Amino acid sequence: MKAFFIGLLDWIYKKKCYFCRRSDESVKMCSKCYDSLEFLSYGKRFAIDGVSVYVAGVYEKNLQKLIRGLKYHNQRDLAFYQAKFMWEYWQHITDETGFEVVPVPLHKDRQSKRRYNHMELVAEEFCRLSGNILNTKLIKRVKNTRPQYKLTPAERAENLHNAFEVDKSALPASAHTCGKILILDDICTTGSTFAEMIKTLKEAGITDITCFATTTPKL
């Protein structure tokens, strides 16, 4: 009888795929739905002030649902799949390690309201997969900016002006001037968030920077 009830509970609470709702694999994203995610061509997307920006995919279909589920709907288990998608793309870009991986920070008020920073969760999983070093202390958001998605490029730049602050003590002593910084974000539209973070880091004397986003909107 005990075994029956244990089996019943396992069946009731078996994980369903967030995307197709099937429970065959008892995971948050089944292999079929994960395999439906498509990469952009491998290589630099563009540059900001000499800093290379890479983007793994297009913000549509299951990739859009993945990002929105993690970002807005508390589906924290999806961080692993977003990180895996980024890591599989990144392996085609470089085999270097030793990056200080910096997720785009949220302002403390927004993070308190949301209860977590989705990109910190992704960066943590990315570092676990890649062997790089998570650094959530190096740069913080000191300005509670407005959501960017409805703003023009000029408004985005103004919205983010002086939004970040660097704490160089968060870097290892040997990396204060030559550490490799890899900034991670979920969506890169105009690159304004990356641009402001790059400017702030360079003003602090940190110049070895690379930016990497999960997606860009479809053109």
Q: Average pLDDT in the 79-104 region? A: 97
E strands present in the chain: 46-48, 51-58, 100-103, 133-134, 139-141, 164-166, 181-187, 209-216
CA 53 to the chain's CA centroid: 13
Q: Which structure tokens are listed for 26?
A: 């008892």
pLDDT of residue 172: 67
One domain for residues 180 and 114:
yes
Block residue for tokens 């099937």: 22
One domain for residues 28 and 75:
no
One domain for residues 28 and 44:
no
Residue 12's pLDDT band, with cuts at 50, 70 and 90, is low
pLDDT of residue 5: 47
Residue 170 has pLDDT above 90, yes or no: no
pLDDT of residue 13: 58
One domain for residues 29 and 126:
no
One domain for residues 20 and 127:
no
Provide the residue range defining the domain that includes 128.
37-216
One domain for residues 78 and 167:
yes
Name which of 7-11, 27-31, 96-100 the model is least confident about: 7-11
Assign residue 160 the CATH number of its domain.
Answer: 3.40.50
Residue 8's pLDDT band, with cuts at 50, 70 and 90, is very low
Residue range 190-206, pLDDT digits in tens: 999 999 999 999 999 99
Residue 54 has pLDDT above 60, yes or no: yes
Percent of the residues in the chain that have a pLDDT greater than 70, as a whole number: 88
Residue 4 has pLDDT above 50, yes or no: no
One domain for residues 205 and 148:
yes
Residue 10 has pLDDT above 70, yes or no: no
One domain for residues 84 and 68:
yes
Number of domains the chain is built from? 2
Residue range 123-139, pLDDT digits in tens: 999 999 999 999 999 99
Distance CA 165, CA 119 (A): 18
One domain for residues 42 and 87:
yes
One domain for residues 93 and 53:
yes
- What lies within 8 Å, CB to CB, of 13 at 6+ separation is none
Residue 176's pLDDT band, with cuts at 50, 70 and 90, is very low
One domain for residues 4 and 54:
no
Alpha helices in 73-209 (DSSP H): 78-90, 108-114, 118-130, 153-160, 192-203
One domain for residues 87 and 122:
yes
Residue 143's pLDDT band, with cuts at 50, 70 and 90, is confident
